[in-house]
Structure 1
Amino acid sequence: METFLIRALQLIMSLSLLVIIHEGGHFLFARLFKVRVEKFSLFFDPWFSLFKYKPKNSDTEYSIGWLPLGGYVKISGMIDESMDTEQMKQPEQPWEFRSKPAHQRLLIMVGGVLFNFILALFIYSMILFAWGDSYIPVQKATMGMQFNETAKSIGFRDGDILLSADGEELVRYDGDMLRKVVDAREVTVLRGNEKVSVYIPEEMMQKLMTDSVKFAYYRFPFVIDSIVAASPAQLAGLQKGDSIVALNGTPVAYYDFMNQMDSLRKNKASLQADSLDPHQLTIAYYRAGVADTISLKADSTYKIGVTAQSDLTKLLPSVDVKYGFFESFPAGVALGVKTLKGYVGDMKYLFSKEGAKQLGGFGTIGSIFPATWDWHQFWYMTAFLSIILAFMNILPIPALDGGHVLFLLYEIIARRKPSDKFMEYAQMVGMVLLFGLLIWANFNDILRFFF
């Protein structure tokens, strides 16, 4: 429950900021061109609002709705989410959206998307300034990678060190590198002392989208971080900082050790038929560079009472880059542009069967936030969501900003406005499509939760 509340709070805080900035972009451009804004609402407010306030001598009412699915600004003289068609039947007024030149209306409509993208670039810049950038070079991770079953089925092996994709050197394991691997025809890895080619099938991304496990993880040693008092590990003499390198004579990294212990636990009944005690384990480890071996007896659930170090930057060689205040801005812009290009490139998979199943709602969005409060990750995810919100809103779908932009561009090119009746129908069609998409995405979340 605590994890749920932490993630829910982060989600609400992040969405609130993004909605305020997005709608603030529309609001500021509208006021710049002297267009009246009747309402500025954080979240939707069908039937009633949780809070509303209208300053003296102001045309705008500010409110907080009870339905946290977004927000809106009600701009005089345009067909929007409010579907206020009665206003459109009245004579045109100079303070209305419809009375302004097309280029001004265009800027008002792109204002939200523009502000969201600028916000993302600013957040990325401040993240780099405050925390810098840290990553583990894939070619210096001497234990290689741990691959999922799909990756192994096409030729990858645990311990492979990723070198290049179609001749392009692979540097750091992130979404950008995964795209290079998936889109490549040939990936070169270092296996032992030999370079090996792995050929990537065309449908690789579709296969990966059906997996519940990531394509690969860094392999890292099982270094003991803490030991439970009076546990089998402590009684046998293991200490914090010891690096476990073999279990029952088989060399292991972290995941190997965990998988072998899990296998012993699952096969407990068959192992008990053996004359040997299945709970008796032989563990080889290094302490301050000196190898040693001990024997210990795990408890009935095959736990030995240790937790492993999980900070990979302490276990594997890492690169740390620091940025000055002014240096952080071009780096933040580059990171934001790369993130946008990667997200746009991934959109092609949305229209596949596997991609449609991956579509997620608020549960999926909430799950990307960390289970414990982490300001670095909070701001990183907020910047990422701001990129997504900007891109999704500029899509040429009626009821989205991009739909209004599309009709405005038509007006500029054709020198004639679409009729109010057409805009009304387009808005309704767009809203139906968006609500259908919203229902489908959240239905996927429900299916994933129960099944």
Structure 2
Amino acid sequence: MEGLIMTAQLLLGLSILVGVHEFGHLIAAKAFGMRVEKYSIGFPPKIWGFQYGETEYSFGAIPLGGFVKISGMIDESLDTETLSQEPEEWEFRAKPAWQRLIVMMGGIIVNVVTGIIIFIFLVYSNGNSYLPKEELNKHGIVANMLGQEIGLQNGDVILKVNDKEYERFSDLRSMDVLFADEPSYKVQRGDSVFDLKFPDGFLNKLTDKKYKDQFIDFRFTYKVGQVVAGSPAAKGGLLEGDKIITINNESTTFFDQLSNILHENNDKDVVATVQRADNTSETLTFHVNPDGTIGFHPVPLIKLQHDDYTFGEAIPIGTTQAFNVVWANIKGLGKIFSGDVAVSKSLSGPIRIAQMFGGKWDWNKFWNMTGLLSMVLAFMNFLPIPALDGGHVVFLTYEIVSGQKPSDRFLENAQKVGMVILLSLMVFAFYNDIVQTLF
């Protein structure tokens, strides 16, 4: 069932984004009097469609893209039969270069606008909950495997990031930090303060699926939440609202301490000192599960800050969030070309994108992912690759600047090269998804 929900969310999200992208081309073309022959969400074979005016609107069976067919334009269809004839006034090739440029930018512009609108409404409807720096630094961070690898320890207090002040815990793991040329933390450990620089190759590890959630977390005290019926915690007498003070006489003030001790004693009996809600103490015995748990949900004793925004306040915040996606992609692409991040670790195809949506239908997460993908789609389409909008933009910009139009034969061959590049990337993305998912 989770797989079906992932797939359904991916297909719905892609259909929305492809639909608005191609609609951007369509309305721009029609605004300049160009004839649009076809508008399709999905690639052939066609599964349903209808004719309205001069345009056939349809859905294709392959839901990984879409297209508009504009008369007199050399596109992915490679339909060049009419190019030997004199152009008609309603053809793409008969229009001024600046109009053709706007048509090619139409899809990108609409995707950007869509992404911005989605992020604005998410900010307006949800506000923003976060762990502020002041609350985080009461107990410091939890250094997981990758955090320990670069020299962090549990309880470290991070004072600055890249020698700059920060506001919230999420800033410690933001793309602005991790994609910096020389990322670093200013760390306080006890009475000492020092700069800790990330080693070369760290970002490559951080993007590896094997190390997901293995960097840093915030440290927190806790109390017992829901106790799972029939679990070792329930059998041992643990109650909701309890606080576990020690396990085998070792302090468990913080949840990471408890988790580590339980993992060290998996499939063994442990003795716990528990403080009840009425401040009395009890000594309880639990048999730890083989996975290092005893069967309760912790309630973190932390103070999150929540900010609500008016619609006017949400506009600049949502817009900034949308363009941060583009900026992160630009930085990420730079890291790929510099060799700091492997292509296989950073390139996601449909399978891994579906996994990002998740196996539960959460509308907030769905729209957040759709907004993110809208900005990514705009960025990717702007890349100067023939067969993408960005390739057309390059040729049209050359025509506007030089006053010379590339020949139809050149454009046709460029389109073929672009299609080979895109198909190769698609095959690699699918293969990489399968390898990363299975291994």
TM-score (norm 1): 0.89
1:125, distance to aligned residue in structure 2 (A): 0.6
Deviation at 1:303, TM superposition (A): 6.9
**Which residue of 2 is the match for residue 22 of structure 1?**
21
- Aligned with 2:51 (options 41, 50, 54): 54
The answer on whether the counterparts of 1:129 and 1:322 sit within 8 Å (CA) in structure 2 is: yes
SS of equivalent residue, structure 1 residue 92: coil
How far does residue 228 in structure 1 lie from its aligned partner after superposition? Answer: 2.9
The within-5 A match list for 1:433-448 is: 433-448=421-436
Checking the alignment, whether the CA contact within 8 Å between 1:284 and 1:291 is kept in structure 2 is: no
In the alignment, structure 1 residue 282 sits paired with structure 2 residue 281: no
User: Mean alpha-carbon deviation: is it higher for 202-211 or for 380-389?
Assistant: 202-211
Residue 122 of structure 2 is aligned to residue 127 of structure 1:
yes
In structure 1, C-alpha distance between the alignment counterparts of 2:85 and 2:426, rounded to whole Å? 34
For 1:412, the equivalent position in structure 2 comes to 400
Alpha-carbon separation, structure 2, partners of 1:354 and 1:180: 15
Partners in 2 of 1:19 and 1:293 — Cα distance? 61
Q: 1:274: which partner in 2?
A: none
Q: Is the 8 A contact 1:109 1:405 kept in 2?
A: yes
Q: Does 1:217 align with 2:217?
A: yes
Closer, same or farther: CA 179–230 of 1 in aligned 2, 3 Å: closer
**CA deviations over 1:297-323 (Å, ceiling 9, x no partner):** 31664776523147xxx6422121111
SS at match of 1:397: coil
Gap change, CA 1:297 and 1:38, over 3 Å in 2: same
Query: Would you say the 8 A contact 1:396–1:403 is kept in 2?
Result: yes
2:156 counterpart of 1:163: no
Query: Larger deviation: 157-166 or 90-99?
Result: 157-166
TM (norm. structure 2) is 0.91
Q: 1:185 to 1:6 in 2, by over 3 A?
A: closer
Once the two structures are TM-superposed, the CA of residue 222 in structure 1 deviates from its matched residue by: 4.8
State the SS of the aligned residue for 1:373. Answer: coil
- Counterpart CA distance in 2 for 1:84 and 1:220 is 63
Give the partner amino acid of 1:446: I
Within the alignment, does 1:152 sit opposite 2:139 as a pair?
no
Given the superposition, is the C-alpha separation of residues 286 and 392 from structure 1 closer, same or farther in structure 2, using an over 3 Å criterion? farther
Deviation (angstroms), 1:291: 7.0
What is the deviation of 1:181?
A: 4.0
Q: Is residue 193 of structure 2 the alignment partner of residue 226 of structure 1?
A: no
Partner of 2:198: 200
Q: 1:393 Cα deviation (Å)? A: 0.2
1:321 aligns with 2:320: no
Whether contact under 8 Å (1:284, 1:292) holds in the other structure is yes
Q: Distance in 1 between matches of 2:153 and 2:340?
A: 28
**Paired residues for 1:3-14 under 5 Å:** 3-14=2-13
Partner of 1:343: 329
- Fraction of identical pairs, as percent: 36
The answer as to whether partners of 2:155 and 2:189 remain within 8 angstroms in 1 is yes
The 8 Å contact of residues 186 and 198 in structure 1, kept in 2 or not, is answered as yes
Contact 2:262 2:288 in 1 (8 A): no
Say yes or no: does 1:356 pair with 2:355: no
Name which of 371, 375, 386 aligns with 2:359: 371
Quick one: distance in 1 between partners of 2:397 and 2:89?
A: 22
Q: Identify unmatched segments of 5+ residues in structure 2.
A: none
Give the partner amino acid of 1:166: N
Residue 249 of structure 1: aligned partner: 249
Deviation, structure 1 residue 264: 2.9
Once the 2 structures are TM-superposed, how far is the Cα of residue 149 of structure 1 from its aligned partner?
Answer: 2.4
**What displacement does 1:349 show?**
2.2
Question: Are residues 299 and 162 of structure 1, via their aligned partners in 2, closer, same or farther at CA, if it must alter by over 3 Å?
Answer: closer
Tell me whether 128-137 or 327-336 shows the greater mean CA deviation. 327-336
Match of 1:90 among 67, 85, 92: 85
Give the letter for the 2:71 counterpart. S
* Residue in structure 2 matched with residue 178 of structure 1 by the alignment: 174
Displacement of 1:107 in angstroms is: 0.4
What amino acid maps onto 2:212 in structure 1?
A: V
What amino acid does structure 2 have at the position aligned with 1:366?
A: A
The CA RMSD measured in Å over matched residues stands at 2.3
State the Cα distance separating 1:168 from its structure 2 match: 0.4
- Decide whether the 8 Å contact of 2:43 with 2:61 is kept in 1: yes
Instruction: Summarize the Cα distance change of 1:347–1:354 in structure 2 as closer, same or farther, 3 Å threshold.
Output: closer
SS in 2 for 1:368: helix
CA contact (8 A) 1:23 1:71 kept: yes
Which residue type is aligned with residue 242 of structure 1? D
Which of these residues, 69, 72, 78, is aligned with residue 67 of structure 2?
72
For the Cα contact (< 8 Å) 1:396–1:406, is it kept in 2? yes
Shift in Å, 1:242: 2.4
Q: Does 1:35 align with 2:23?
A: no
The Cα shift of 1:41 comes to 0.3
- Change in Cα spacing, 1:76 to 1:52, as seen in structure 2 (3 Å) is same
Give the AA of the match of 2:25: H
